Amino acid sequence: MHQGAGEDINRGSLERLLAKVMSDRGLDLGQFRARYVERRVNVRLNALGLTTYRQYAAYLDAHPEEYARLLDTLTINVTQFFRDPDVYQLFRDEVLPAVVSAKQQRKQRLLRIWSAGCATGQEPYSLAMSALDAIERLDAGTMLPMVIGTDIDPVALATAKAGEYPAKEIAHIPEPDRTRYVEVDGDRMRMRQSVKDIVRFQYLNLFENPPIHGVDVVFCRNVFIYFNRNDQERLLNAFWESLTRGGYLVLGRSERLTPQVSERFVLVDSRQRIYQKPRGLQ
């Protein structure tokens, strides 16, 4: 970042910028260390030839697509298998057992998981591997898991449907899952048929097409940055309607429910941004 930018280049002005990002896009950067955020934001300023946080705030107003680039810069790797492993561990160890137990009590067999904004498919396949593993460990072999991945990018969806990726991506997959669910052939890796059989991909515009209904878990992580707060609220209400009673909503760790919607969900884990639709509601 250029030096000599005056009083704008100080912690106070950075905090005002971050408050704007929170207000405009609901992106909570409190999970990151302050110095890290400062360095990464400065990467964007340098790339744009800007010298102050105030200029960057004005640029965000004029170019809303910059919010997505800012998120990419902060998170480095946006799409990968088992991104944020702690989220998947909680999903596998607590969320899935709770869902399976509730299903068994109601004599239901179909377990539906929706990955909204699935990009090239790494998240849905990670969810599928987690579901298959949990069902096996819970001795719930009659349960029928289905993961539905949706996105608006047909090129990304084509990659997702193929289920084939550079072999180096296997490094993000836990060791036991690699053996059971992945095949490696030279510099490529592909998902085994047992995983592909329970994953479906489809085009879906979150604001123009009807949402997926009757789902037990919705994953919508690191997607909100693309939308303003009003659109986020619309989307959260749609997810609430999509979920079965007692269903779970999983957001990205930097994302929050809007105040108007937060009263409709029960907070399950504040750090991992996991919420539950109350069982007494439909």
Provide the pLDDT confidence category of residue 3 given band limits of 50, 70 and 90: very low
Q: Give the tens place of pLDDT for each residue, 69-93.
A: 887 777 654 578 999 899 999 999 9
Q: Name 251's bridge partners.
A: 220
Do 151 and 118 form a contact (C-beta atoms < 8 A)? yes
Give the mean model confidence (pLDDT) for residues 30-57: 86
> Would you tell me how many other CB atoms lie within 10 Å of the CB of residue 3?
6
Residue scoring higher pLDDT (77 or 240): 240
Give residue 118's pLDDT band: very low, low, confident or very high (50, 70, 90): very high
Q: Is the pLDDT of residue 2 over 60?
A: no
* Predicted pLDDT at 280: 72
**Number of other residues whose CB lies within 10 A of the CB of residue 29:** 20
- Residue 248 belongs to what H/E stretch? strand 243-251
Q: Which position has the higher pLDDT, 59 or 259?
A: 59
Beta strands in 74-134 (DSSP E): 110-116
- State the pLDDT at residue 235: 92
Confidence of residue 30 (pLDDT cuts 50, 70, 90): low
**Pairing mode, strands 274-276 and 243-251:** antiparallel
Question: pLDDT tens digits, residue range 120-166?
Answer: 999 999 999 999 999 999 999 899 999 999 998 888 899 999 999 99
Chain centroid offset of residue 255 CA:
9
Please report where in the chains the tokens 């047992």 appear, as a residue. Answer: 194
Say if CB 233 and CB 180 are below 8 A apart.
no
In degrees, to the nearest 5, what angle opens at C-alpha 126 toward C-alphas 125 and 128? 60
The pair of structure tokens assigned to 92 is 């596998």
Neighbours of 36 (CB within 10 A): 11
Give the pLDDT of residue 212.
94
If we measure between CA atoms, which residue out of 139, 140, 102, 120 comes closest to residue 217? 102
Q: Determine the residue type at 237.
A: N
pLDDT of residue 6: 44
Question: What's the pTM?
Answer: 0.77
Structure tokens at 258: 């809007």
Query: Is the distance from CB of 186 to CB of 240 less than 8 angstroms?
Result: no
User: Of 3-12, 69-78, 152-161, 273-282, which range is least confident?
Assistant: 3-12
pLDDT of residue 177: 97
Higher pLDDT, 241 or 32: 241
Q: How confident is the model at residue 21 (pLDDT cuts 50, 70, 90)?
A: confident
152/66: higher pLDDT = 66
| 162-221 pLDDT tens trace | 999 999 999 999 999 999 999 999 999 999 999 999 999 999 988 888 999 999 999 999
